[in-house]
Amino acid sequence: MIYIRNLTKVYHSASGNVRALEDVNLNIEKGDIFGIIGLSGAGKSTLLRCINMLEKPTSGSIEIDGVEMTRLSPSELKEMRKKIGMIFQHFNLLSSRTVRGNVAFPLEIAGLNKRAIDKKVENLLELVGLSDKADNYPSQLSGGQKQRVGIARALANDPKVLLCDEPTSALDPETTLSILNLLKDINRELGITIVLITHEMNVIKQICNKVAVIEKSRVVEQGPLIEVFKKPQTETARNFLKSVTLSEIPKELKDKIENLSHEHLEGKIIKIAFFGEITTEPVISSIIRKFDVDTNILYGNIDHIQGMPYGTLIVELRGKNGETDAALKYLKDLGLDVEVIENV
Amino acid sequence: MSETINLLLVGTWQTIYMVVVSTLIATIFGVPLGVLLMVTDKEQILHNEPLNKILGTIVNIFRSVPFVILLIVLIPFTRLLVGKAIGTTAAIVPLSVAAIPFMGRLTETALREVDRGVIEAAQSMGASPFQIITKVLIPEALPSIAAGITITTINLVGYSAMAGVIGGGGLGDLAVRYGYQRFMLDIMLYTVAILVAMVQLIQFLGDILVKHLSRNR
Ligand SMILES: Nc1ncnc2c1ncn2[C@@H]1O[C@H](COP(=O)(O)OP(=O)(O)O)[C@@H](O)[C@H]1O
Ligand SMILES: [Mg+2]
């Protein structure tokens, strides 16, 4: 659907040249919700804006639906852009127009007649749940409502692709969730391919099926979301994942572990990270059955990405005569990601 | 007494006539000039370095020539345009020529305040530069443009006081010829009072217009 090859972008400014993108290659397939994550200044917006040529690439190619974007004439580009919707962090609505007027804007640009526009606008407002706000001005709307207008506007000309530049970064967590769910519905029901950039792993986790990590102008890692979650290849990816997985034991828990009474039993505090089908509950109970160990669950969290459970469990194991080690080996043999974090 | 009133009435009418017509002309030509200045600048939708430089230079030249001198320098041009070089109608030519670049700069400034992101959003939807100008830039900047027209109008009230140099008449001319040269202090005071009231009224109406245009924003 969208194939980016050897994309490089250099900005020339008074203070020197900025290499904002360096040899970027991406494959985005039809129906994907493709997330691009990176820190501020990494080049995310530049990359997204190159896709619809708001920014002219310095070199490389961008192919959308078989069309080479870098070689289009200005009028061909205008036509192509009507099939690529875009939404923005700061919504970028026209303050001089009502909600209705904003959604009508791209349809006027495309030259539809008034009746067709009215009908389309009604449908779009219904889709984003803003029919009752049709005659309000953007200044009278909340952030979430403004983004809904932005989405309705971006969908007006039935695009095949929706580009999202930090669409939820100006929103509170609850509103973020509702906007992400709306995007997910749009992707599913209208079959629109979504490219979304963000600096928050949480956003990626909620809706993306694929992710690319961009760092200092380069894509350093990319793949299906689950793969990147399971086996991040780069430090950058691991750092982003920290924000959504338990990678450090909470301080309170640490203190508690240190104060655990040293009885005569040899004990270990272990961390089990699990991902996917394995449910830990039967695993824990089978340890108790199979080995002469006491188990004590100290901490646990579980979450889902794309309907798949993942999480961490911190368990205290106590047993005699090497039973603890045997239990540990049993867990490892089951293919679980087990780590001893403390011997007590 | 009735002669004084008559003088003041004629003077007021001449001032209103000169100011209103030249404001209209300044708006008709100044707003498009401001649009051109803005869109042809660096990183704007119709960037055109030579055109931008040429327009900018012309605007600066006209804005730096003192109005009194402009009145005289433009005499041949005025004659060409309206067939005569003196009188109230003739004065409208130099007034407009002075106000167009002024209005142009004010419009340019107003358009620059339009959020870049909104322009980009329009571009991302496939809008042409012309559509961006008519559907985004001007509507979004309309309150500021209206404020600019108000300032231009008030400026023109001031400039019109010098129209006497080419026989344009008006309140300023009245103040100079009767009030100053013939020591008729009452006429001097009345004209100043009328001019002050006029400026107040223009500002008041302009503020209402701006407020109306920026409601809901
Ligand atoms: N128009 C521009 N001119 C010059 N440098 C720019 C421009 N836009 C972005 N940059 C630079 O390019 C780099 C990447 O910016 P950007 O793509 O906006 O990053 P991100 O969206 O990831 O925060 C930054 O160093 C930024 O300063
Ligand atoms: Mg950005």
B122-158: per-residue pLDDT in tens?
999 999 999 999 999 999 999 999 999 999 999 999 9
Q: Is A13 in the pocket of ligand 1 (CB under 6 A)?
A: yes
Q: How far is A87 from chain B (nearest CA, A)?
A: 8
Sign of the torsion formed by the C-alpha atoms of A186, A187, A189 and A191: positive
Q: Which amino acid residue places its CA nearest to atom 16 of ligand 1?
A: A43
Q: How far is A155 from chain B (nearest CA, A)?
A: 10
Question: Is B131 close to A84, i.e. CB distance below 8 A?
Answer: no
Q: Which residues surround ligand 2, an ion (CB under 5 A)?
A: A 45
In chain B, residues with a C-beta closer than 8 Å to the C-beta of A54 are: 120, 123-124
Strands (E), chain A: 2-13, 16-28, 33-37, 59-64, 67-68, 84-88, 161-165, 193-198, 210-215, 218-224, 266-275, 293-305, 308-319, 337-343
A296 and A303 Cβ atoms separated by less than 8 Å: no
Q: Is A40 in the pocket of ligand 1 (CB under 6 A)?
A: yes
Res. A262: pLDDT tops 70: no
The 10s digit of each residue's pLDDT in B5-21 is 999 999 999 999 999 99
Q: Is A313 in the pocket of ligand 1 (CB under 6 A)?
A: no
Binned at pLDDT 50, 70 and 90, residue A285 comes out as confident
| Dist. CA A266–CA A321, nearest whole Å | 8
Res. A246: pLDDT tops 80: no
- Structure confidence at residue A259 (pLDDT): 67
Closest Cβ–Cβ partner in B126, B139, B140 for A81: B126
**What is the percent of chain B where pLDDT is above 90?**
84
How much is the average pLDDT of B70-83? Answer: 93
**What is the percent of chain A where pLDDT is above 90?**
63
- Structure confidence at residue B148 (pLDDT): 97
Measured CA distances, A283 to A130, A268, A334 (Å): 48, 17, 9
- For residue A262 the two structure tokens come to 């040293």
Res. A120: pLDDT tops 80: yes
Maximum distance among all Cα pairs of chain A, rounded to whole angstroms:
84
- Structure confidence at residue B157 (pLDDT): 96
A305 and A225 Cβ atoms separated by less than 8 Å: yes
Indicate the pTM of the whole model. 0.86
If one compares A341 and B54, the residue with the highest pLDDT of the two is B54
Question: Comparing C-alpha atoms, which of B43, B67, B39 is closest to residue B51?
Answer: B39
Coil, strand, or helix at residue A60? strand
- Substitution target from B115, B124, B136 for chain A, most A beta carbons within 10 A: B124
How much is the average pLDDT of B96-109? Answer: 97
Cβ–Cβ contacts within 10 Å for residue A268, how many? 19
Which atom of ligand 1 is the closest one to the Cα of A21? Answer: 14
Which atom of ligand 1 is the closest one to the Cα of A46? Answer: 17
| Strands, sheet with A266-275, edge to edge from the N-terminal-most edge strand | A293-305, A308-319, A266-275, A337-343
Sign of the torsion formed by the C-alpha atoms of A124, A128, A89 and A12: negative
Residue type, A330: Y
Q: Is A56 in the pocket of ligand 1 (CB under 6 A)?
A: no
In chain B, residues with a C-beta closer than 8 Å to the C-beta of A109 are: 122, 125-127, 131, 135
Closest Cβ–Cβ partner in A79, A88, A97 for B117: A88
Cβ–Cβ contacts within 10 Å for residue A318, how many? 19
Res. A159: pLDDT tops 80: yes
In chain B, residues with a C-beta closer than 8 Å to the C-beta of A140 are: 216
Q: Which amino acid residue places its CA nearest to atom 2 of ligand 1?
A: A11
Give me the half-sphere count of Cα atoms (radius 13 Å) on the Cβ side of residue B101.
Answer: 16
**Cα of A42 from ligand 2 centre, angstroms:** 8
Binned at pLDDT 50, 70 and 90, residue B49 comes out as very high
Helix (H) or strand (E) holding B13: helix B2-39
The 10s digit of each residue's pLDDT in A317-340 is 888 778 888 888 888 888 777 888
**Cα of A170 from ligand 1 centre, angstroms:** 19
Binned at pLDDT 50, 70 and 90, residue A296 comes out as confident
Residue type, A272: I
Name the least confident of A158-167, A273-282, B62-71, B92-101: A273-282
Res. A13: pLDDT tops 80: yes
How much is the average pLDDT of B110-118? Answer: 97
Pocket test for ligand 1, best of A46, A51, A218, A240 (most atoms within 8 A of CB): A46
How much is the average pLDDT of A219-223? Answer: 94
Distance of CA A50 to the CA centre of its chain: 20
Measured CA distances, A28 to A9, A162, A210 (Å): 19, 12, 9
Binned at pLDDT 50, 70 and 90, residue A235 comes out as confident
Question: Is A92 close to B117, i.e. CB distance below 8 A?
Answer: yes
- Structure confidence at residue A247 (pLDDT): 57
If one compares A34 and A288, the residue with the highest pLDDT of the two is A34
The 10s digit of each residue's pLDDT in A54-94 is 999 999 999 999 999 999 999 999 999 999 999 999 999 99
A212 and A34 Cβ atoms separated by less than 8 Å: yes
Binned at pLDDT 50, 70 and 90, residue A261 comes out as low
Q: What share of chain B is helix, strand, coil (3-state, %, to 5)?
A: 80, 0, 20
B23 and B156 Cβ atoms separated by less than 8 Å: yes
Give the ligand at the shortest distance from the Cα of A89: 2
Question: Is B125 close to A157, i.e. CB distance below 8 A?
Answer: yes
Res. B47: pLDDT tops 60: yes
In chain B, residues with a C-beta closer than 8 Å to the C-beta of A81 are: 123-126
Pocket test for ligand 1, best of A7, A9, A10, A11 (most atoms within 8 A of CB): A11
In chain A, residues with a C-beta closer than 8 Å to the C-beta of B127 are: 78, 109
- For residue B158 the two structure tokens come to 């001031």
**Cα of A169 from ligand 2 centre, angstroms:** 10
Q: What is the 3-state secondary structure (H, E, C) of A145-214?
A: HHHHHHHHHHHCCCCCEEEEECCCCCCCHHHHHHHHHHHHHHHHHHCCEEEEEECCHHHHHHHCCEEEEE
Closest Cβ–Cβ partner in B120, B126, B216 for A92: B120
- For residue A184 the two structure tokens come to 């997910």
Q: Which residues of A128-149 are buried (b: 16+ CB within 10 A; e: fewer)?
A: bebeebeebbbeebebbbbbbb
Question: Is B128 close to A78, i.e. CB distance below 8 A?
Answer: yes
| Dist. CA B2–CA B213, nearest whole Å | 42
Measured CA distances, A340 to A264, A270, A281 (Å): 19, 4, 19
Binned at pLDDT 50, 70 and 90, residue A265 comes out as low
**Cα of A50 from ligand 2 centre, angstroms:** 13
Angle at A156 between CA A155 and CA A161, to 5 degrees: 35
Question: Is A109 close to B124, i.e. CB distance below 8 A?
Answer: no
Cβ–Cβ contacts within 10 Å for residue A341, how many? 12
**Cα of B41 from ligand 1 centre, angstroms:** 21
- Structure confidence at residue A260 (pLDDT): 65
Q: Is A20 in the pocket of ligand 1 (CB under 6 A)?
A: yes
Res. A301: pLDDT tops 90: no
| Dist. CA B180–CA B142, nearest whole Å | 42
- Structure confidence at residue A249 (pLDDT): 66
Average pLDDT, chain B: 94
Binned at pLDDT 50, 70 and 90, residue A106 comes out as very high
